Homo-oligomer: A and B are copies of this chain.
């Protein structure tokens, strides 16, 4: 079994409503030094495959088909252990 961690983030320059809302909430709580907040997500996947090359190719296909929105997001895939 192979494990991959996919980091998905918004492309630079696109608005991040979740980050903006969180920054406002932090200001309201008194954290006035906050300049910017942005959110991303990590997806950890365990997958069975013949070999690590096949596993990575499969995960890349998953990202393209389901896990990320290539219009507004970019992603990186890291193999672990």
A binding-site residues for B, Cβ under 8 Å: 1, 7, 9, 22, 25-26, 29, 31, 33-49, 55, 58, 61-62, 65-67
Contact residue among B22, B38, B49, B67 (Cβ-Cβ distance under 8 Å from A33):
B49
A43 to B38 CA separation, bound complex (whole angstroms)? 6
Q: Given that A22-B66, A42-B42 are contacting pairs, would A35 and B7 also be in contact in the complex, using a CB cutoff of 8 Å? A: no
CA distance A45 to B35 in the complex (A): 7
Q: Which residues of B contact A55 (CB under 8 A)?
A: 33
Contact B39 A40 (CB under 8 A): no
Measured CB to CB, the nearest residue on chain B to A44 is B38
A36–B42 contact, CB under 8 A?
no
